[in-house]
Amino acid sequence: MTDLVWLIPILPLIGFLINGLIGRRFPEKVVGWIGAASVGASFVVALLIFLELIGMPASSRSVQKVVYTWMLSGDLNVPFGFLVDPLSMVMMMVVSGVGCIIHVYSIGYMHGELGFRRFFAYLNLFVFNMLILVSANNFLLMFVGWEGVGLCSYLLIGYYYEKQSASDAGKKAFVVNRVGDFGFLVGMFIIFVIFGTFDFVPIFAEAPNKLTYGGGLATAITLLLFVGATGKSAQIPLYTWLPDAMEGPTPVSALIHAATMVTAGVYMVARCSVLFALAPVSMSVVAVIGGATALYAATIGITQFDIKRVLAYSTISQLGYMFMACGVAAFGSGIFHLMTHAFFKALLFLAAGSVMHAMSGELDMRKMGGLKKALPRTHWTYLFGTLAIAGIFPFAGFFSKDEILYFSFAKNPGFWILGAVGALMTSFYMFRSVFMTFYGTSRVDHEAAHHLHESPPIMTVPLMILAILALIGGFVGFPIIEGANVFGNFLAPVFAPAQAIIAHAAHAGSHHASVVLELTLMGVSLAIAIVGLLAARKFYITDPDAPERVITHFPGLHELVYNKYWIDELYDVLFVNSIVKFSRFLWKSFDDTVIDGIVNGVAGVVRSWAGVLRLVETGLVKDYALSILVGLLAVIGYLVLR
C-alpha cells in the first residue's frame, strides 16, 4: 500500500486538470463534487496507508518511495520521491481530510459565483501542492510544493480580482512570501553544498557528523530555513500578509490561511528537527519568535471588529504556539496542535463564512449580535470551535495547547508566561467574537435582518463534522501525560534523533516528567481560559458599555493596538516605499534612458546607414545588370590573375 503513496497528491491534480481543462462543460454540481471527490479519494488512500503504517513495528515506520529520477546532473540527483513516516502521514491526512470537508462546504458556499469552476480548479491545485509539500522526500520537491501553495494562495486571495483590495492583498501575500522563500532557498543551497544531496533521510542521518553542535553552520542553515517558515507561517516579522489574505473567499481562508498552508512552516521546522536540534541558538530564536507572535497577534485580535480578521490574528497567534513548541524541542506537541488547530480553526472560519452567508457578506461584528436564534447550527458549531481554541476541557485545543505550555514551562517559565497570557487573550477575544456575533441584542440592520437564514445542509454538515473533530480530536493525545501519549508516541520515532542530540547536549537529561506539575499547569490553563470567558461575558453581555470605558481610559493604547501597532505603515515607510522609489528610479533613469537609449541607438545607427546605402537601389535594370557584370569581372579577374 505504501507504494501507492504517489496517488495521494496525484488524485487532486487529476481533479484540477478535469475542472481546469474541461470544467466549463459541466454543471456547477458536477464540478464541485469532482473537486471534493478527488480530495476525498486522497484521504481514503492516506487513511489506508496510515493503517498499514500503524501495523508496522514502530522502528520501521519510515518508507521511501521513489517514483522516478527527476533531475540528474553531475553530483545532483533529485528523485521525484515520497517519504512515508508518521509525520508526513499525519500531515497528509489532515490536509486531505480537512481539505475534503472544506471542498464540500465550498459547493454550498460558492454556489452561483461567477468563477465557480476556477475556484475549484485552484483549490484542487492547492491540495495537490500541499500534499507534495508534506510528502516529498527531499528539499527540492518540498520546495516545489512550497512555491505551489504560495501560487495558489496568491490566486485564491485575488479570487475577486476585480476588487482592488483583493488583488493588492494577493500581491502582498506573494511578495512577503518571496522574502521568506529567499531564506529557505539559501538554506537549502548551503545544505546541498555540505551534504551533496537534497534527500531528507541521508541529510538527517549525516547531520550530527557533518555539523558541529551549536556550530555557526548549523545555526545559519536553521535560521535561514526559519526565515522561510516565518514567511509561510506568518510569524513576526513577516506576518503582515495573513490578515489581508482574508480578502479571499472564506473557504480559502479556512483551508489555506488557517488549516494547511500556513502550517507548512511548522511542518518544515519539525521535519528538520535534527538540524534545529544541532543549533540551540536557532531553537531559542524559534521559541522566542513563536512565543512573541502568539502574544502579539492575540493583542491585536482583541481590538478587531472584522470577524475574519479576529480569526486571522488568532491563526497567527496559534501558529506562534506551534513554533514555540518546536523551539522548546516539543516537536510532537507542535504537530499535535497543528492538527487540532486545523480542525477548530477551519471550523471557525467556515462558521464565520456561514454567518457571512446569512448576513449577505457582512463581516463587521458591530453589525451582528443575537444571531443565535436565526443560525442555530452555525452558532453551536462556532461555539465548539471557540471552546476548542480557548482550551476548555475536553475540547481538542485543551490537550494540544496544554502540552505546549507544559513543555514551555519545563524549558523556561518565561515561555510559559508568554503562552499563558496569550491563552488568556485567546479565550477573551474568541468569546468576545462569540458574544458579539451570536448573543446580546441584535444590531443587524433592518434590511439584512430580513434575509437572515441558516445555511443549507451542504454547509452545515461539514461544520458539524469539524465540530465533532474539534470536540474529540484532542483525545488522540490522551492521556496528556508525557510518555503515555498515543499521538506523541506515534510521532516520537521521527523526532527521536533530534531528542537524542538535545539529551546528549544536556548531558544528564535535565528534563524530567512530573505528573503533578503537568496536572497543576492543566488546572491553571483551564482557569485562565475560564477567566477569559468570564471577562468577555462581562464586557460584551452583562456590561456592554465596559469596552467603551476601557477605550476612553487608555485611548492611546487602544489606538495603537487597533491599528495593528502601525506595523504595516512602518513596513511601508521602511521597505515598501524605498523599494518603490528605487524601482521608479530604475524605471525613469535606467530603463527609460539607458535601456531605451541602447535600443533606440542601435535602431538609429542602422537607420542612418540604411539611408546612405539605399541610394544604391535605383530600380533600373541596367544598373543591376552592370553590378552583376562588375562582380563577374571581379571574380574572373581574381581567378585569372591569382
Partner 1 sequence: MVTLHHYLFLSALLFGVGIVGVMVRRNLIVILMSLELMLNAVNLTFVAFSRYLGSIEGQIFVLFIMVVAASEVAVGLAIAVAIYRQKGTVDVNEINLMKW
Binding site for partner 1 (CB under 8 A): 614-622, 625-626, 629
Place of cell 465540530: 467
Q: Nearest distance from residue 615's CB to partner 1, in Å?
A: 6
Q: Which CB atom, from 72 or from 626, has the smaller least distance to partner 1?
A: 626
Q: Which of 92, 144, 94, 101 is nearest to 123 (CA)?
A: 101
The Cα–Cα gap between 512 and 527 comes to 25
Q: Which CB atom, from 112 or from 611, has the smaller least distance to partner 1?
A: 611
Q: Which CB atom, from 580 or from 630, has the smaller least distance to partner 1?
A: 630
Are residues 46 and 1 in contact, defined by beta-carbon separation less than 8 angstroms? no
Q: Nearest distance from residue 597's CB to partner 1, in Å?
A: 28
Backbone angles phi, psi at 255, to 5 degrees: -75, -50
Q: Nearest distance from residue 631's CB to partner 1, in Å?
A: 13
Q: Nearest distance from residue 626's CB to partner 1, in Å?
A: 6
Q: Nearest distance from residue 633's CB to partner 1, in Å?
A: 10
Amino acid, res. 157: I
Q: Nearest distance from residue 640's CB to partner 1, in Å?
A: 14
Q: Which CB atom, from 516 or from 612, has the smaller least distance to partner 1?
A: 612
Q: Nearest distance from residue 605's CB to partner 1, in Å?
A: 19
Contacts of residue 633, defined as CB under 8 A and 6 or more positions apart, other chains included, come to: none
Q: Which CB atom, from 193 or from 620, has the smaller least distance to partner 1?
A: 620
Contacts of residue 226, defined as CB under 8 A and 6 or more positions apart, other chains included, come to: 183, 269, 282, 285, 286, 289
Are residues 458 and 32 in contact, defined by beta-carbon separation less than 8 angstroms? no
Q: Which CB atom, from 516 or from 620, has the smaller least distance to partner 1?
A: 620
Q: Which CB atom, from 164 or from 608, has the smaller least distance to partner 1?
A: 608
Amino acid, res. 411: K
How far CA 59 is from CA of 187, 246, 492, in Å, comes to 29, 42, 10
Q: Which CB atom, from 516 or from 640, has the smaller least distance to partner 1?
A: 640
Q: Which of 323, 305, 301, 451 is nearest to 365 (CA)?
A: 305
Place of cell 506515534: 490
Q: Which CB atom, from 516 or from 616, has the smaller least distance to partner 1?
A: 616
Q: Nearest distance from residue 604's CB to partner 1, in Å?
A: 19
Query: C-alpha grid cell for residue 179?
Result: 522574502
Q: Nearest distance from residue 625's CB to partner 1, in Å?
A: 5
How far CA 382 is from CA of 49, 309, 348, in Å, comes to 32, 15, 6
The Cα–Cα gap between 220 and 208 comes to 15
Q: Nearest distance from residue 611's CB to partner 1, in Å?
A: 9
Q: Which CB atom, from 621 or from 641, has the smaller least distance to partner 1?
A: 621
Query: C-alpha grid cell for residue 37?
Result: 471527490
Place of cell 506576518: 239
Q: Which CB atom, from 446 or from 614, has the smaller least distance to partner 1?
A: 614
Is the Cα torsion angle 473, 479, 483, 484 positive or negative in sign? negative
519 CB neighbour count, 10 Å cutoff: 14
Amino acid, res. 193: V
Place of cell 529557505: 184
The Cα–Cα gap between 67 and 460 comes to 40
Q: Nearest distance from residue 603's CB to partner 1, in Å?
A: 19
Query: C-alpha grid cell for residue 538?
Result: 462581562
Kindly state the helix (H) or strand (E) to which residue 70 belongs, with its residue range: strand 63-73
Are residues 187 and 144 in contact, defined by beta-carbon separation less than 8 angstroms? no
Q: Which CB atom, from 193 or from 613, has the smaller least distance to partner 1?
A: 613
- 349 Cα distance to chain centroid: 15
Q: DSSP assignment, residue 441?
A: S
Q: Nearest distance from residue 168's CB to partner 1, in Å?
A: 54
